[in-house]
A and B are shown apart, each in its own frame.
Chain A
Amino acid sequence: MDSAGGFARSSIGRKVIMASTGVILVVYVIGHMIGNLQVYGGPEGINAYGKFLHTFIHGQAIWVARIVLLTAVLLHIWSATSLTLTSRKARGIGYREQKWKESTYASRTMRWGGVIILLFVIYHILHFTTGTVHPDFVPGDVYHNFVAGFRVVPVSIVYIVAMIALGLHLRHGVWSMFQTLGVSHPRYIGAAHVLAWVIAIAVTVGNISFPLAVLAGVVK
């Protein structure tokens, strides 16, 4: 067997690390969006859900999830950065003119899109998890924090823009990860593109609906 270090230094190895940590993050963002849909059922549901997450297995489960996610995010960013640097170095002198044919806006914005998502994730944790940057944070009252948070229009705009960036990242990332992991039989690769669109649209539309619902007064 190859040394793990050799695999992690190789181009394909680093891509596989990026794709497999991507799988964890994709599953997480889908679950996160679905969980949040409970705000449409009123305060009891989502507050009980929040309490469940914090107390499940005596409060251990949330730490397991946090450690897994943090590890995935760090490995994802490490591999993305390292691959980006390798690719930058591979073309020291660029073209005067380069026309794109098959690449997409989504595929060409993965790197800056990733940076936007990272900044958003940091802000999001300071906003809804620790409450540090929240104007009226009540620990444990998820519903209140949610409504009070999104009533601030600039905050809602930040969330909406970040979710569009996330949608683009998922549009390319989900299909790309199938290809990278070699699960890309021609018979199913069309389905992978469809799945990428479905996940990207569902996550983006679902998440954007929350600030819009608060601003429109549907959730209050």
Chain B
Amino acid sequence: MKLTLRIWRQKDAKSKGAFVTYTAEADEEMSFLEMLDVVNEGLIQRGEEPIAFDHDCREGICGTCGFVINGRAHGPRERTTVCQLHMRSFQDGDTLTLEPWRADAFPVLKDLVVDRGAFDRIIAAGGFIASAIGGAPDANAIPIRKENADLSMDAAACIGCGACVAACPNAAAMLFVSAKMGHLAMLPQGQPERMDRARAMVAQMDAEGFGTCTNHGECEAACPKAIRMEFIGRMNADYVKASLTGGRRAAGSEGGSG
């Protein structure tokens, strides 16, 4: 199949970028990134700079890949990262526009590669459990409701690719932050720091300059792991509670008798 590609080329973080048009030959069996690999080989042979794009596992599990194809984060297929997208999803003669994630909190480093350090800093602000808990305990050592374990696993499926931010009309990071908060909030180990975590992660999210959610639902539609907006509702509830109580069980009591 023959394709026309309009790809965002940008030399480095400081340069102004522009779209450059390429033609590509591809087989239906190729993955999208393999198609780009072939384009890049051609560019290298002609002595041109290859197109930079992020990728690592190419198995849809690491969250490294991702760009926008024809206005959709990770391309047209639901629940699919761009590394798991195949050329059979397109047709001979298609024109494809490839753009990097667009958000000021994700500055473009080069071509289709953006800096997602903002996500790391949000996790560093509180997306973890502070106490050292040793090796993995037996799965049945702490009883956990089946529904909560399932929900926690749903949220933990987030691979941090940034498609939610990219697809959001407001460039908000609520789905990512709520998933990272939610998977801990569903488990007993996450409880002691739950309220502090809510405040710290939201504060960092705001400081990074992400937009604000208006519940459009585009994040959920773009998420390759099908993480649901219900986690955003849970995060909102936790944040309100944490702000009202400061995370304490009883207002004003600085300690118990015990």
Contact = CB atoms under 8 A, between A and B. Distances in A.
Interface of A: 1-2, 6-7, 9-16, 83, 86-104, 107-108, 110, 172, 175-176, 178-186, 189
B72 A83 contact: no
A130 B209 CA distance: 44
A184 B182 CA distance: 14
B245 interface: yes
Contacts of B213: 11, 15, 180
A101 B218 contact: yes
The 8 closest A-B pairs by CB, nearest first: A182-B237, A184-B233, A90-B211, A102-B217, A87-B211, A103-B216, A99-B71, A87-B170
A186 B230 contact: yes
Interface of B: 6, 19, 68, 70-72, 97, 99, 102-105, 167, 169-172, 199, 202-203, 205-206, 209-218, 220-222, 228-230, 232-240, 242-246, 251
A115 to B, nearest CB: 15
Given A102-B217, A102-B218, A87 B234 contact: no
Contact of B205 (A1, A11, A98, A101): A11
26 contacts: A1-B243, A2-B243, A7-B243, A11-B210, A12-B236, A15-B236, A83-B214, A86-B211, A89-B104, A90-B105, A98-B68, A98-B71, A100-B169, A102-B218, A102-B221, A107-B216, A107-B217, A172-B215, A181-B237, A182-B235, A182-B236, A182-B238, A184-B234, A184-B236, A186-B230, A189-B233
Nearest to A1: B246
Contact of B206 (A10, A88, A179, A182): A10
